[in-house]
Amino acid sequence: MFLTTLICSDEACAQELEVVVSHALDALDDSACACGCTHVVLDVSAWERAEIRALTPA
Ligand SMILES: [Zn+2]
Protein backbone atom coordinates (compact mmCIF):
# COMPACT_ATOMS: atom_id res chain seq x y z
CA MET A 1 0.00 0.00 0.00
CA PHE A 2 1.16 3.50 -0.77
CA LEU A 3 0.08 6.86 0.53
CA THR A 4 0.27 9.31 -2.32
CA THR A 5 -0.02 13.05 -2.11
CA LEU A 6 -1.52 14.59 -5.21
CA ILE A 7 -1.59 18.25 -6.14
CA CYS A 8 -3.58 20.04 -8.79
CA SER A 9 -1.53 20.87 -11.87
CA ASP A 10 -3.07 24.34 -11.89
CA GLU A 11 -0.87 26.65 -9.82
CA ALA A 12 -3.80 28.94 -9.15
CA CYS A 13 -5.67 26.05 -7.56
CA ALA A 14 -2.93 23.90 -6.02
CA GLN A 15 -5.48 21.74 -4.25
CA GLU A 16 -3.79 18.84 -2.50
CA LEU A 17 -5.26 15.53 -1.51
CA GLU A 18 -3.98 12.25 -0.15
CA VAL A 19 -4.96 8.95 -1.69
CA VAL A 20 -4.14 5.45 -0.51
CA VAL A 21 -3.56 3.03 -3.37
CA SER A 22 -2.83 -0.67 -3.27
CA HIS A 23 -0.41 -1.08 -6.14
CA ALA A 24 -1.94 0.43 -9.25
CA LEU A 25 -0.37 3.85 -9.29
CA ASP A 26 -1.56 4.10 -12.88
CA ALA A 27 -5.05 4.58 -11.49
CA LEU A 28 -3.95 8.00 -10.32
CA ASP A 29 -3.68 9.09 -13.93
CA ASP A 30 -7.44 9.21 -14.00
CA SER A 31 -7.59 11.45 -10.96
CA ALA A 32 -8.88 14.93 -11.71
CA CYS A 33 -9.33 17.97 -9.53
CA ALA A 34 -12.73 19.53 -8.96
CA CYS A 35 -11.54 22.52 -10.98
CA GLY A 36 -11.14 20.35 -14.07
CA CYS A 37 -7.35 20.12 -14.14
CA THR A 38 -5.45 16.91 -13.67
CA HIS A 39 -3.56 15.97 -10.55
CA VAL A 40 0.14 15.36 -10.43
CA VAL A 41 1.84 13.15 -7.87
CA LEU A 42 3.67 15.19 -5.29
CA ASP A 43 4.83 12.43 -2.98
CA VAL A 44 4.57 8.69 -2.52
CA SER A 45 5.31 6.91 0.71
CA ALA A 46 4.79 3.48 2.18
CA TRP A 47 1.56 3.19 4.08
CA GLU A 48 0.85 0.74 6.85
CA ARG A 49 -2.26 0.10 8.84
CA ALA A 50 -2.03 1.87 12.15
CA GLU A 51 -2.85 -1.25 14.12
CA ILE A 52 0.28 -2.99 12.88
CA ARG A 53 2.28 -0.52 14.90
CA ALA A 54 0.24 -1.13 18.03
CA LEU A 55 1.79 -2.56 21.20
CA THR A 56 5.16 -4.23 20.88
CA PRO A 57 6.16 -6.76 23.56
CA ALA A 58 8.36 -5.27 26.27
ZN1 LIG B 1 -7.61 22.22 -9.12
Range in 6-10, 42-46, 48-52 the model is least confident about: 48-52
Q: How far is the CA of 8 from the centre of ligand 1 (A)?
A: 5
- pTM for this predicted structure: 0.69
Q: How far is the CA of 46 from the centre of ligand 1 (A)?
A: 25
Residue 31 located in a structural domain: yes
Residue 55 located in a structural domain: no
Q: How far is the CA of 13 from the centre of ligand 1 (A)?
A: 5
Mean pLDDT to the nearest integer, 31-43: 91
Q: How far apart, in whole angstroms, are the C-alpha atoms of residue 26 and residue 4?
A: 12
Q: How far is the CA of 42 from the centre of ligand 1 (A)?
A: 14
Residue 54 located in a structural domain: no
Residue 56 located in a structural domain: no
Residue-wise pLDDT for 19-36, tens only, equals 888 877 777 777 889 999
Residue 58 located in a structural domain: no
27 SS3 class: helix
CA quadruple 46, 10, 32, 22: dihedral, nearest 10: -10
* Parent domain of 6: 2-48
Q: How far is the CA of 47 from the centre of ligand 1 (A)?
A: 25
Name the average pLDDT for the chain: 82
Counted domains in the chain:
1
Say what the pLDDT of residue 48 is.
Answer: 72
